[in-house]
Amino acid sequence: MAKEHVKAALVEARQALDALIAADQTQEAIVQASELMAETIRRGGKILSCGNGGSLCDSMHFAEEMTGRFRSDRPGYAAIAIADASHMSCVGNDYGYRAVFSRYVEAVGRPGDVLLAITTSGTSANVIDAVEAAHKNGMKVVGLTGKFDSPLAQKADVAIVTPAGRWADRVQELHIKCIHILIELVERQLAPENYK
């Protein structure tokens, strides 16, 4: 019985990936987001990223690949995941958990920066508040979600919506693929010599 569940999970994951391969609108959004991010880095700006739970882990993974190294050596790119425990506990205690991302964006975000906002449902209140704070600061927002009709998809300047179905884990599996492709496309624009 357990093996049947393993195979069923893998087939479902493959179906989700096939849906992404067929999703021209999502692929175009990934290209647009990468161009926005590359231009931000080129102009000396930075990318902030945020999310809850697994999406927070994805936002941290994005930032460390940007500041560190993805495939080959190149300069580090300015990216910060909003994940500092002392900030989050301070703001959570003083203002409530809903403010943990927006307060950071208010403090650190600058005009021309980008916020990568990640929520599988597209409805996380603290992420939506961060999006609104980013826009108030003159920032652009790339939203990564799993719902076309979600608040995040509606508010983001570029909405990357992964068509993975109703389960958050399948949405997140496609999110990490989108994140890796985003980083590759940014590198192709800023460090093209790495792809010759």
Q: What is the dihedral of CA 45, 27, 161, 118, to 10 degrees?
A: -30
Q: Is 119 annotated as contributing to ligand binding?
A: yes
Q: Tell me the C-alpha to C-alpha distance, in Å, between residue 134 and each of 30, 128, 181, 187.
A: 20, 10, 24, 24
Owner of token pair 């999110």: 175
49 is in an annotated binding site: no
61 is in an annotated binding site: yes
184 is in an annotated binding site: no
Establish whether 39 is an annotated binding residue. Answer: no
Q: 138 labelled as ligand-binding? A: no
112 annotated among ligand-binding-site residues: no
Contact between 171 and 23 under an 8 Å Cβ cutoff? The reply is no
Tokens representing 185?
A: 């496309």
180 belongs to an annotated ligand binding site? yes
* Helix (H) or strand (E) segment spanning residue 170: helix 168-190
65 is in an annotated binding site: yes
137 is in an annotated binding site: no
User: Is there a binding annotation on residue 124?
Assistant: yes
Annotated binding site: 52-54, 61, 65, 93-94, 119-121, 124, 172, 180
Known binding-site residues for Zn(2+) equal 61, 65, 172, 180
Tell me the binding residues for substrate. 52-54, 65, 93-94, 119-121, 124, 172
